[in-house]
Structure 1
């Protein structure tokens, strides 16, 4: 049996885009002959992944994995919404979420991590691409944990257990009753799904975002002819209103809009039996920020027919 080197496997993968394990198997089957291995992969349909990797993937699913006081949320994209109902794809998202919960939120580390069925997560994605026939990508991952307390979650527009269009995880640090914390945490997660805050509080908002908002407020006040000595006060007042709109703790709580999320947390401490601090959250909405390709089917047919 010919020796299969790591360099040969890497070379074959670069040529075909197939998974590492598939490339090694192809070389073993063909006694190390690269060209024969390429043909073997093509016959198996495993070399298609590279050709599909450039296509826009803005559909798919957001997946959650909660394990005690730690949780992960991932976004795995496909080209069409139909794939989100594919059981193989759904299981792939669950596997990726489970691995993310273990290794953390760095995408490169997740892709390089071992998959339960063998090979790496990157190999599992390449195999799914070849089988399903669409480009599939792991776009992002978020992982939260607490030393004591609870990490609550919520999936919106659920397509299967733990999978949906919007996924939220919330970390509540507290030594109080875990069942009360989970109930409140789920309510806050639902609020986050609906209200889409930028940060927990003003300190968490990107400095460039605050500077841009400050400049807009100052420009508006100047255009309205406000005197220079009051513009700063107008800007500061405007920023306070802005923070109420985009900071989680300042937003009106969707469960009871008469109070803010921060007030609801404070009131909950009596039921929990200890102070409660909301330390972080992650909210992933499927496809947000991805420019989706718009296809004019009639134009494509006309172009193919040579009429345009």
Structure 2
């Protein structure tokens, strides 16, 4: 039986984690103690005992942050996942759910595929300055491209929401984290405040048309490894296919390299071929690979079928 987390569960869960790690040292769990996000916990009970638990991050889209099972109860994993996720499928507030394909050395693919999750490949791609032939495309005369300016915050939020709403996957993201204005506002505010690494204002590009309307942007931060990390790129739908995206890419490349950041890193969904084309098919190297499982709600699929004009 699945139930919510209670305050008196804390030490029972801590003890369960210790026992589980002794048997399965590879169990995966994202940062965040039970006291930080208790609402995300789903407790799996067998009789009067806690047999396992899982932890969900997020609101409109949720991520399976981790799970633990009592040693000897591996056969109950599928039942626990099924009972924990079924109520979420019927909640109209949930846009999507994602999970790693493997946790603790156990594949979640059979159980979650049977629940309607799709398997998606996500790659980490790296572009190195010394292996790149830099191209600086000509920006059409009726457009202008400038570094980040705080006064365009609201326009950037609106562009992120407009360009991502209705897409099955964003350019780099595998789940619709940018499907609402509030989520876009939180994301952009977090980037500016350094939640994802130091914000690179000069490498972040803002693209305007001749009516001074913001139609494109790229968001850049510096990773813990000292790389330039492209966190998101957006281009309004009516302006796609006009050769403007390469101008955004050239801007972030040039600014990053001037900072001495000789490596640019970005995530890539295997089905999105446009990403590799933008950066140069032969000039990016594949870093980390992983498979994730994604469930998309009927509401989100409807948004994709009826994108904004």
**Fold shared by both chains (TM-score > 0.5):** no
- What is the TM-score of this pair, normalised by structure 1? 0.24
Whichever structure has more strand as a proportion of its residues is 2
Bigger relative contact order (CA 8 A; separation at least 6):
2
- What is the TM-score of this pair, normalised by structure 2? 0.24
Q: Which structure is larger by alpha-carbon Rg, 1 or 2?
A: 1
